[in-house]
Amino acid sequence: MAATDTTRLAVLIDSDNTTARLTAELLAEIAKYGTPTIKRAYGDWTTQHLVGWKEELLRHAIQPVQQFAYTSGKNSTDSALIIDAMDLLYAGNLEGFVIVSSDSDFTRLATRLRESGMTVFGLGRRSTPAPFVAACDRFIYLDLLAPEPSEQSRAALREEEPPRPPPNLKQTLSTAISSTSKDEGWSNLSEVGSYLSKSHAAFDPRDYGHAKLGELVRAEPYVDVKEAPGPTGLSQLWVRLKPKASKTSSSR
């Protein structure tokens, strides 16, 4: 999944389903993957529960898209976001989409966009249903973006549903290294990272206390790490699973 500063992204925010207080952190995270050329937030802006969004929309030049709730209990915001996404897809001016929501209703949209060659990033709460997470190329949990990720602030983002625990690190990392290994079991760390993104859309080193994958692998006692020059002369990180100590038995 290649993303550069020139990758043009449409950021579509389901405001009814997302907190406004992490808008700056959310956009900073998105900037790692490309340039948000379109920024839209969808909701019924006549209601009081979206008042907190007003300053954030102005500060970050996010276009509010008004969608009245025509029927009680029905979310028309989802439909407006989906229609806009398809219009933007057919316009052909983008390389990727960012869907900010924790709503499983966007699962088919993410799948459809990927079928058309788009890269899809998702951002949402820990309670986001697994199908929507898996439908994205990459999914980032909002609580990882909190400037002070205390348990209290993360609990507020997780809301009423218990958080889904991250994958077992040793099992997940060992599989990724084994599946990409070459001579003597060594794997290029970038290939390991690519494998993790494809097999676990929500895999994130920050879930395990590290900002980057390189820091994470260095901290794991079952992983050997070495640096070697790459094709361009720049140093590259290689990893492998530490060989298991052979059992010696004496025959007497």
What is the token pair recorded at 9?
Answer: 């992204």
Distance CA 212, CA 41 (A): 30
7 vs 237: CA distance, rounded Å: 26
> What share of the chain has pLDDT > 90, as a percent?
57
- As a whole number of Å, the end-to-end CA separation of the chain is 57
For residue 83, which amino acid is it? I
Q: Determine the Cα–Cα distance for residues 203 and 53; give it in Å rounded to an integer.
A: 29
Closest alpha carbon to 232 in 179, 190, 181, 178? 190
Distance CA 32, CA 9 (A): 11
Q: In what order do the strands lie in the sheet with 119-124?
A: 63-66, 35-43, 8-14, 96-100, 119-124, 138-141
Q: Would you place residue 77 in the very low, low, confident or very high pLDDT band (cuts 50, 70, 90)?
A: confident
Comparing CA positions, the residue from 42, 41, 135, 34 lying closest to residue 93 is 34
Q: Which residue type, as a one-letter code, is found at position 224?
A: D
Residue range 201-209: mean pLDDT, rounded:
89
Question: Could you report the per-residue pLDDT of 141-174, keeping only the tens digit for each?
Answer: 999 997 765 555 555 555 545 566 788 899 999 9
Distance (Å, whole) CA 229 – CA 231: 7
The rounded percent of the chain whose pLDDT value lies above 70 is 84
Range 8-158: architecture per CATH: 3-Layer(aba) Sandwich (3.40)
Query: Which residues have a Cβ under 8 Å from the Cβ of 204 and sit 6 or more positions away?
Result: 140, 141, 144, 166
Return residue ranges of the chain for CATH 3.40.50.1010: 8-158
**Sheet with 223-229, edge to edge strand ranges:** 187-188, 235-241, 223-229
Domain with CATH 3.30.420.610 in the chain: 169-241
Instruction: Return the pLDDT at 182.
Output: 87
Q: At a CB cut-off of 8 Å and minimum separation 6, what does 118 contact?
A: 89, 94, 95, 96, 97
The one-character DSSP state at 52 is G
The full length of the chain comes to 252
CATH number (1.10.3720.10, 3.30.365.10, 3.40.470.10, 3.30.420.610) of 169-241 reads 3.30.420.610
Against a cut of 0.85, is the pTM above it?
Answer: no
How high is the pLDDT of residue 160? Answer: 47
